[in-house]
């Protein structure tokens, strides 16, 4: 075998080894990226577009927004801090549990941080996953399974006309306490006679409620904090604290 042939074989073997190495490197990089993509990060920013969105999307940008707020809560349930941008009015259909410790929801018209159009969040009177295994019935809403700091901006909550036979009557179930700050927005109710209440603690979880430039509809009074009657001072009730003296 000539020297030229030896060199050619050596080059061929080197190319084969390089190809194998590059393939393994690509596989490792893909596996690492997949792990990063699926791991719960400290912060998740997601978008919801009730017109153009798709719940099969990643939700990470306006162009790949989720269709529903339900999916946004589900997809980020194990992230520590969640920032949800609403590009339109939404209605929750399911009861969802989140373990996040920070949730921020804001009305948006795109990526322009200076423009905060009001966005409405409504709730189905009976959730699509109601009743549960214990035959409890409930509306759409969120179970807050961690001590939570929640902030909303340019958001209006609409309390549903819940059937009187419903066994779980809160929209947001607070398991370990919550501080809610609402900046610009409103709290309304479909029917003053509803049995629904927007926030209710499980056992003794404290709730702090701080409102700025927030309109409270007449029908919503008495349906915001569990046990606080219409126009009553929440600060007079144990475990509640607020800058508003008449809810």
Q: Are residues 122 and 8 in the same domain?
A: no
How would residue 21 be classed by pLDDT, with cut points 50, 70 and 90? low
Determine contact, residues 146/101, Cβ cutoff 8 Å: yes
pLDDT single digits (tens) 200-245: 998 778 999 999 999 999 999 999 999 999 999 999 998 899 999 9
Cα separation, 199 vs 99, in Å, equals 17
Residue 122 is assigned to a structural domain of this protein: yes
Kindly state whether residues 23 and 70 are assigned to the same domain.
no
- Average pLDDT of the residues in 51-65: 95
What pLDDT score was predicted for residue 238?
Answer: 85
Give dist(CA 147, CA 6) in Å, integer: 70
Q: Which domain holds residue 23?
A: 1-39
Band of pLDDT at residue 32, cut at 50, 70 and 90: very low
Distance CA 94, CA 12 (A): 60
If you average pLDDT over residues 14-28, what whole number do you get? 69
Q: Is there a single domain that holds both residue 100 and residue 199?
A: yes
Q: Is the pLDDT of residue 190 over 90?
A: yes
Whether residue 134 is predicted with pLDDT greater than 80 in this model: the reply is no
Residues 2 and 47 in one domain: no
Query: How many domains would you assign to the chain?
Result: 2
Say yes or no to pLDDT of 29 above 80: no
Whether residue 230 contacts residue 222, with contact meaning beta carbons closer than 8 Å, is answered with yes
Residue 146 lies in a domain: yes
Is there a domain that residue 71 lies in?
Answer: yes
Contact 123, 171 (CB under 8 A): yes
Assigned domain for 201 exists: yes
Is 90 found in the same domain as 18? no
For residue 115, tell me if it sits in a domain.
Answer: yes
Based on the fold, state whether residues 34 and 148 are members of the same structural domain: no
Question: Taking 70 as the threshold, does the pLDDT of residue 130 lie above it?
Answer: yes
Judge whether 247 lies within some domain. no
Task: Give just the sign of the alpha carbon dihedral 159, 161, 165, 166.
Answer: negative
Band of residue 1 on the pLDDT scale cut at 50, 70, 90: low
Q: Please state whether the peptide bond connecting residue 87 to the residue before it is cis, i.e. omega within 30 degrees of 0.
A: no
pLDDT at 202: 85
Tell me: do 65 and 100 sit in the same domain: yes
Domain co-membership, 188 together with 176: yes
The predicted structure's pLDDT at residue 72 = 96
Task: Give dist(CA 105, CA 48) in Å, integer.
Answer: 10
Residue 24: inside a domain, yes or no? yes
Instruction: Please check whether residue 235 lies inside any domain of the structure.
Output: yes
Q: pTM of the entire structure?
A: 0.81
What band does 110 get if pLDDT is binned at 50, 70 and 90? confident
Query: Given a cut of 70, is residue 189 above it in pLDDT?
Result: yes
The mean per-residue pLDDT over the stretch 72-99 comes to 96
Q: How far apart are CA 105 and CA 61, in angstroms?
A: 15
Judge if 9 and 58 occupy the same domain. Answer: no
**76 Cβ contact partners less than 8 Å away, ≥ 6 residues apart:** 44, 46, 82, 84, 98, 100
In a shared domain, residues 23 and 84: no
205 shares its domain with 94? yes
Domain identity same for 28 and 50: no
Helix (H/G/I), strand (E/B), else coil: 24? helix
Beta bridge partner(s), residue 153? 106, 183
């Amino acid at each position: 075998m000539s020297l030229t042939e030896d060199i050619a074989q050596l080059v061929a073997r080197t190319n084969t080894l390089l190809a194998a190495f590059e393939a393994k490197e690509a596989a490792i990089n893909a596996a690492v990226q997949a792990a990063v993509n699926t791991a719960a990060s400290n912060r998740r920013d997601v978008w919801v577009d009730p017109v153009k969105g798709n719940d099969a999307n990643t939700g990470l940008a306006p162009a790949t927004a989720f269709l529903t707020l339900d999916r946004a809560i589900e997809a980020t349930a194990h992230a520590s801090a969640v920032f949800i941008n609403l590009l339109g009015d939404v209605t929750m259909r399911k009861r969802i549990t989140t373990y996040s410790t920070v949730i921020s929801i804001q009305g948006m018209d795109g990526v322009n941080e200076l423009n905060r159009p009001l966005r409405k969040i409504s709730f189905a009177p009976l959730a699509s996953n109601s009743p549960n295994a214990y035959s409890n019935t409930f509306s759409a809403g969120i179970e807050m399974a961690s001590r939570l700091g929640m902030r909303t901006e340019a958001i209006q909550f609409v309390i549903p006309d819940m059937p009187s036979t419903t066994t779980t009557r809160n929209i947001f179930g607070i398991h370990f306490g919550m501080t809610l700050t609402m900046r610009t927005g409103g709290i309304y109710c479909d029917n003053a006679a509803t049995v629904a209440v927007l926030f209710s603690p499980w056992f003794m979880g404290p709730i702090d409620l701080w409102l700025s430039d927030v309109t409270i509809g007449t029908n919503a009074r008495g349906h915001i904090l569990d046990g606080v009657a219409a126009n009553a001072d929440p600060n007079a009730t144990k475990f509640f604290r607020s800058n508003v003296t008449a809810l």
